[in-house]
Structure 1
Amino acid sequence: MHSSSTTGSRLCLNTFSSSIALKALALSTVLFPFHSLNASKTAHQFDTVVNSNKLTVVAVESPTTVFREGQHLHGFGYDLVRNYADSLNVQLDFQTVETNAAALKLVSQGKASFAMTTASIQSIEQKHLSSFSATCGEFVTLEKNGLNTGLNWVFKNADDPLSQTANAFICRGKQNGSINQLASFYNRNVVKEEAWDTIQQDLKKRMPVYKASFKRTAKQYDLDWHLLAAIGYQESYLKPDSISPTGVRGLMMLTNNTAKAMGVTDRNDPSQSIQGGAKYYDLMLDRYENIPFPDRNWYALVAYNMGPGAVGQIQKRLKAQGKNPDQWVNMYAYLERNKVSNSRYRQALQYVTRIRAYLEHIKTTPQLVNI
């Protein structure tokens, strides 16, 4: 069993993974008076969570629940759990296990606060456990975004205040649209199914040529080389001679000014381009060092795509609207809301979601991992 906290280095995208940090979900939790929550003499997981200041959640890695990137995690289910922990103002101890049966066993034994699982309702009931939909029945939204509609949160007792607050938290998220927004960011259909064959062929053909350069440069900047490869594929399909109508060129599609600032003398040289792209992305991560991972990755990618100045302008507008400019949920919502009237916002949304999808594909495809 592997364990991860919500903090860590930026070695990789906890990716590609604040994640989205949907603080709106956290703020929407129904609040129960503590005296009523603890009124029962029966031992509850809620008491354990509050007294230990730790929420222990177990799940099996999957495209709907969680992706592991070194010490970092991200994913639709993980972000839901992360924000429920935030709403309780406790630390999250998120643990991955090999099977749903193992996750249910830990809940039965009281070793986990709850499990996030796609196990059948029958298997859950056989263990005399209680469960509810992780999306309060928002099945159409999950299906539309290619996510598993059978995702449930499983608790030892239905009358545990932990289960009750979690259920209220999830259903309020459905009502205010936060569930839908989170699902849209982790959309498994952002790349059309028929396109994956071509993408797979491209990566198998070109990745081996540049793998050594990606790995060497990623190590220099403490990044995940798979992430750099995903950025490179989004930028140029890993073609070093690429050039756009606006003049950006090379494998990482650097502008002339950015290339000069990063010390790149030949944008068509793949090693120089990868070096310049990694250096620039690293600078973007530093620019948003006040934002925790995995959300910092999303900010850095949007800034990489349309410039930190444009991101800064949106942050100012969000602040003027009384919203936290450093929460990805607010940045994402702004881009989504204005993408029709601003093509740069539409492009930025496509950019970050596609890179996230490419990275997850690379990391979960054995043929590519072992290239």
Structure 2
Amino acid sequence: MHSSSTSGFRLCLNSFNSLPFKALALCTVAIPFHSINASKATHQYDAVVNNSKLTVVSVANPDIVFKDGKHLHGFGYDLARNYADSLNVKLDFRTVKDNATALKMVAKGQASFAMTTASMQSIEAKHLTSFSASCGDTVSLQKNGLNSNLNWVFKNADDPLSQTASGFVCRAKQNGAISQLASFYNRNVVKQDSWNIIQRDLTKRMPIYKASFKKTAQQYDLDWHLLAAIGYQESYLKPDSVSPTGVRGIMMLTNSTAKAMGVSNRTDATQSIQGGAKYYDQMLNRYSHIPFPDRNWYALVAYNMGPGAVSQIQKRIKSQGKNPDKWVNLYAYLDRNKASNGRYRQTVQYVTRIRAYLEHIKTTPQLVNI
């Protein structure tokens, strides 16, 4: 990079807290990612661009990344994925046993950067550079029960990769993406004192239906824990549940959906689980052009609201000049309008709770070993 370009780029980065968003956008436009060339020193940016791959390492932690069957999700993971998308490269997200291993990999050039809650002392001891993964938006993280000490750690401060990354993160703070991601991955979506009741329900009822969940999930190549989480959200795993609107059974199917899925008795647990899984699988196929984990969330919203309602929202998002196939945009629309639309409020709660139940079921030894 020419020295004048470097100065201009750093000026943009150093002005993030004072510049309006439009001006920030101009900073990025003025110096496109592909025009950033490394100096004679070898930078991670070169490796990322040349290999079209961003390698990120982190300790597996619900605040950062969670393994959902074959897929990953989490506040930190989504943020890194969006950064990789902005560079038009593939994300290779690896989990490691501890923060020390993550920092070591960065120091040795084995990872583009690390996402970590390691202390500043340990980061500086390895002569690494770091910045806040929320650009200092600790309020959004704290109120959603997320660790506000989450940092992105790079090998060199003058690497264009760390510079573009800090710019990306601060734009995400400025345009609300940080707060929206934090809101969706809210660790407090279920009140702490409710978990004892949830744990009791799951311990008592899940053993009865586990075989059906597992067999059906295998048939549709789904994670049975996710099906169980949907079932708990729908009915608390009670096969005789009936709602005021007439949906019933463990998976709370409407009469028309049940018939379409081949379910003759909605209160029969096995049939309900089979019908619910088949319908959920159809929703996944409907959004097959959307990558995971976003596809899961779209399918859940469609399961709850109906695919027609999702299509209408996507049209509105598109009319606003945003990508209707990005979960952060769909979630932001629902969350922004939930105060005036009870259906949206219910759907936001529906998806966030299922995510929370899924994580609980997969990480609680008593439930995993049932």
Same fold by TM (over 0.5)? yes
- SS of residue matched to 2:92: strand
How many residues are matched?
Answer: 347
Match of 2:6? none
Distance 1:33 1:322, change over 3 A: closer
Question: Which residues of structure 2 form unaligned runs of 5+?
Answer: 1-23
Query: 1:135 matched to which residue of 2?
Result: 134
What's the secondary structure of 1:164's corresponding residue?
helix
Q: Does 1:84 align with 2:83?
A: yes
Q: Is the 8 A contact 2:38 2:159 kept in 1?
A: no
1:180 alignment counterpart:
179
CA separation in 2, counterparts of 1:154 and 1:29?
21
Q: Which segments of structure 1 move beyond 4 Å, counting only runs of 4 or more?
A: 25-31, 33-36
For 2:29 and 2:136, locate their aligned partners in 1 and report how far apart those are by CA, in whole Å: 18
Does 2:294 match 1:320? no
Q: CA deviation at 1:31?
A: 6.2
Q: 1:310 to 1:39 in 2, by over 3 A?
A: closer
Structure 1 gaps, min length 5: 1-24
Instruction: Work out the CA distance in 2 between the residues paired with 1:297 and 1:351.
Output: 13
Structure-2 residue corresponding to 1:8: none
Q: RMSD of aligned C-alpha atoms?
A: 1.8
2:99–2:116 contact (8 Å) kept in structure 1: yes
**Counterpart in the other structure of 1:107:** 106
Partner of 1:196: 195
Distance, in Å, in 2 between the alignment partners of 1:297 and 1:140 is 28
Paired residues for 1:25-40 under 5 Å: 32-33=31-32, 37-40=36-39
Task: Report the counterpart of residue 240 of structure 1 in structure 2.
Answer: 239
Identity across matched positions, percent:
78
Letter in 1 for 2:161: L
Aligned to 1:120: 119
- What SS class does the counterpart of residue 38 from structure 1 fall into? coil
Q: Which amino acid in the other structure matches residue 103 of structure 2?
A: L
**Residue in 2 that maps onto 1:229:** 228
Which position in structure 2 is the counterpart of 1:211?
A: 210
Deviation sequence 1:212-269 (CA, Å, 0-9, x none):
0000000001100000000000000001111111111111111111111111111111
Q: CA deviation at 1:30?
A: 6.7
Q: Is the contact made by 1:28 and 1:173 (CA closer than 8 Å) also made in structure 2?
A: no
The amino acid across from 2:63 in the alignment is T
Decide whether aligned partners of structure 1 residues 99 and 29 sit closer, same or farther in structure 2, where only a CA change above 3 A counts: farther
Asked whether the 8 Å contact 1:28–1:172 carries over to 2, the reply is no
Question: Structure 2: which amino acid aligns with 1:366?
Answer: P
Identify which of structures 1 and 2 has the higher relative contact order when contacts are C-alpha pairs closer than 8 Å and 6+ apart: 1
CA shift for structure 1 position 123? 0.7
TM-score, structure 2 length as denominator?
0.90
Instruction: Give secondary structure in 2 for the equivalent of 1:303.
Output: helix
Alpha carbons 1:26, 1:84 under 8 Å: kept:
no
Specify the alignment match of 1:357 in structure 2: 356
- Pair 1:36–1:232, CA change in 2 (3 A): closer
State the shift of 1:179 in Å: 0.3
| TM-score of the aligned structures, taking structure 1 as reference length | 0.90
Q: Give the conservation status (yes or no) of the 8 Å contact 2:38–2:45.
A: no
Alpha carbons of 1:351 and 1:74: their partners in 2 closer, same or farther (altered >3 Å)? same
2 CA distance for matches of 1:370 and 1:234?
Answer: 21
Q: Give the structure 1 partner of residue 5 of structure 2.
A: none
One-letter amino acid matched to 1:210:
Y
CA distance in 1, matches of 2:255, 2:32: 59
Q: Which structure carries more helix by proportion?
A: 2
CA contact (8 A) 1:217 1:274 kept: yes
Summarize deviations over 1:138-161 as a string: whole Å, max 9, x none: 111101000011110011111111
Q: CA deviation at 1:320?
A: 2.8
Match of 1:9 in 2: none
Letter in 1 for 2:328: V
| CA positional deviation for 1:39 | 4.8
Larger radius of gyration: 2
